[in-house]
Amino acid sequence: MNLILDPERWSPLTLVTTWQALGRGLVLTLQVAAGAALLSLVFGALLALLRLSRVGAVHYPAVLLIELVRALPVLFIIFATYFTALHYKLNLPIWVASAAGLTIYTSAVVAEIVRAGITSIEVGQVEAARALGLSYAAMMRFVILPQALHRMVPPLVSQLITLLKDTSLASIIGLTELLTQGHNIYTYYGDPLQILITVAVIYFVINFTLSRLSRRLETARRQREPRIAIAPRETEAAA
């Protein structure tokens, strides 16, 4: 019978080897996501500062780069990175190519989140800092950034969830992450649905926990600092 609840069809999930394989996949997924997340924070913050610069020669290239990357599909960027490396006979390990593609895309999105956070600080704050005689660096360090960072946390977490989901795309260029491990299991046992649902549930548990955590932080922040929220465009919806 085609019953989805037939215990026989879930039997691969009773094997230790299945969970070992899924575990190895999950570890790789988390490693690639963590690497890409850290690099994207650094490059994203840098790009945001370049875009906020008043010097045209710095500002316009940053705008062009950010908007160009954000307008392209993340899977396209992963492919383009991977095939370009192949074309120039760069023997990048798959995980490096995957993390690089994900970092390029995520940096552009993070740049917009950071920029939105900084520009959301009221002009009055800047004026007050100036009136107190703070230097630009001191103003950034003690006035702007502490407030902006708080506001950036929810959109950054939501982008982290997107990034975790996007690591599954690296399975297409052969990264043996969670989805690939699931794929290998069901091509062996021949019953995709049960394994795919298991993989989906693993992603769900991680991402749902992250989003709950972020919401809790946000509620705590709202109680201290009501009414202000930044909502950078599109971050919630990327792949």
Partner 1 sequence: MRAVQDNLPLLLAGLRVTLLLAVASLALALAVGTFVGVVRVLPLPIIPGFGAAYVEFFRNTPLLVQMFIWFFGLPGVGISLPPFLAAVVALGIYTSAFVAEVVRAGIQAIGRGQLDAARSLGLTYLQTMRFVVLPQAFAITVPPLGNLAIALAKNTSIASAIAVGDLLYQGEVVNAQTFATYQVFTTVALLYLVITIPMSFGVNYLERRLVAYRR
* Residues at the contact surface with partner 1, assessed by CB under 8 A: 2, 4, 9, 68, 71-76, 79-80, 83-84, 86-87, 161, 165-166, 168-169, 171-172, 179, 183, 186, 191-194, 196-197, 199-200, 203-204, 207-208, 211, 233-234, 236-239
Question: Which one, 103 or 186, has the nearer CB to partner 1?
Answer: 186
Using CA atoms in the order 143, 231, 50, 98, what is the torsion angle rounded to 10 degrees? 120
Question: Which one, 38 or 68, has the nearer CB to partner 1?
Answer: 68
Question: Which one, 14 or 88, has the nearer CB to partner 1?
Answer: 88
Measured from the CB of residue 103, what is the shortest distance to partner 1 in angstroms?
Answer: 17
Measured from the CB of residue 53, what is the shortest distance to partner 1 in angstroms?
Answer: 22
Measured from the CB of residue 18, what is the shortest distance to partner 1 in angstroms?
Answer: 16
Measured from the CB of residue 191, what is the shortest distance to partner 1 in angstroms?
Answer: 6
Measured from the CB of residue 120, what is the shortest distance to partner 1 in angstroms?
Answer: 16
Question: Which one, 28 or 169, has the nearer CB to partner 1?
Answer: 169
Question: Which one, 79 or 145, has the nearer CB to partner 1?
Answer: 79
